[in-house]
């Protein structure tokens, strides 16, 4: 078995190669490339490997750009620093991925799936990859229009600290402390806002990374956070979202 690692972070690449050596000693790493340019050059001058570990976001483009240059390609295990909400489509599309920093157990599961299906690459894989490309090139909402008295104002997304649900309404809270109702649900906001900048911490709050000032441990394996502007009520990260929240902050 031969594999190629496409990863622009040298530490991440070395760690992945080390873990592969531990979990799949029969697999030889025949190439470690760091960019779209070097990746294209490698595949032009070498035989296709049995497996590609492909970082989605590279310094000079997307890992997809390498696949686009290949007439055919072997199975791909994607790696990404995006949080799980940003890549929720992966699981539905049936494509393996590893969330950085790479967890050994996740890699073990991905390799197990690869071994199980090594003799059959789904015909629909190109369609699935096209769906992933669309996911990562998605245009997220840039402005919100809100009613202020008898007229309307617009807020750039960069000026918004968080959204909160209160008495059946959703309110926008700006970094300057202004608060206005918006005609969106929290579910809708989760879909239209850039997941790198905003995270849904519970059923009531969708917060921007710039609004998170302090984080404290809280009972029942939850987190208590302090937002800026200050929120009068306690803001708690739900237990099932804590791991992803910490990963989101550590992008």
- How many other CB atoms are found less than 10 A from the CB of residue 186? 16
Q: What is the mean pLDDT of residues 213-235?
A: 94
For 2-136, CATH gives 3.40.50.2300
Q: What is the mean pLDDT of residues 74-91?
A: 67
- Note the pLDDT tens digit of each residue in 150-202: 889 899 999 999 999 998 899 999 999 999 999 999 999 998 998 888 999 99
Cα 10 from chain centre: 20
CATH-assigned architecture of domain 143-249: Beta Barrel (2.40)
pTM above 0.75, yes or no: no
Cis peptide before 101 (omega within 30 of 0): yes
Domain boundaries of the chain, sorted by first residue: 2-136, 143-249
| Higher-scoring residue by pLDDT: 90, 103 | 103
Q: 215, exposed or middle or buried, with CB in 10 Å at 0-12, 13-18, 19+?
A: middle
Residue 139 has, within 13 A of its CA and on its CB side, a CA count of 2
Q: How many helices (H) and strands (E) does the chain have?
A: 8, 17
- Note the pLDDT tens digit of each residue in 39-51: 999 999 999 999 9
- Return the structure tokens found at 165: 């649900």
Query: Longest C-alpha distance within the chain, in Å?
Result: 70
């Amino acid at each position: 078995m031969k594999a190629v690692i496409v990863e622009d972070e040298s530490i991440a690449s070395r760690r992945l190669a080390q873990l592969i050596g531990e979990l799949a000693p029969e697999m030889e790493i025949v190439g470690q490339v760091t960019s779209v340019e070097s990746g294209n050059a490698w595949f032009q001058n070498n035989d296709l490997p049995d497996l590609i570990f492909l970082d989605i976001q590279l310094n000079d483009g997307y890992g997809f750009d390498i696949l686009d240059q290949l007439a055919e390609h072997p199975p791909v295990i994607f790696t990404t620093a995006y949080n799980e909400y940003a890549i929720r489509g992966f699981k539905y599309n049936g494509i393996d991925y590893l969330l950085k920093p790479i967890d050994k157990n996740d890699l073990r599961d991905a390799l197990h799936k690869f071994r199980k299906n090594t003799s059959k690459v789904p015909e629909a894989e190109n369609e699935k990859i096209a769906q992933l490309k669309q996911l990562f090139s998605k245009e997220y909402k840039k402005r919100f229009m809100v009613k202020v008295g008898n007229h309307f104002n617009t807020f750039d997304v960069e000026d918004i600290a968080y959204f909160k649900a209160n008495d059946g309404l959703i309110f926008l809270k700006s970094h300057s402390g202004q608060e206005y109702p918006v005609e969106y649900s929290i579910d809708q906001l989760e879909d239209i806002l850039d997941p790198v900048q905003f995270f849904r911490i519970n059923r009531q709050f969708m917060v921007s990374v710039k609004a998170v000032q302090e984080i404290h441990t809280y009972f029942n394996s939850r987190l208590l956070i302090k937002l800026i502007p200050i929120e009068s009520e306690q803001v708690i990260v739900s237990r099932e979202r804590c791991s992803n929240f910490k990963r989101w902050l550590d992008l």
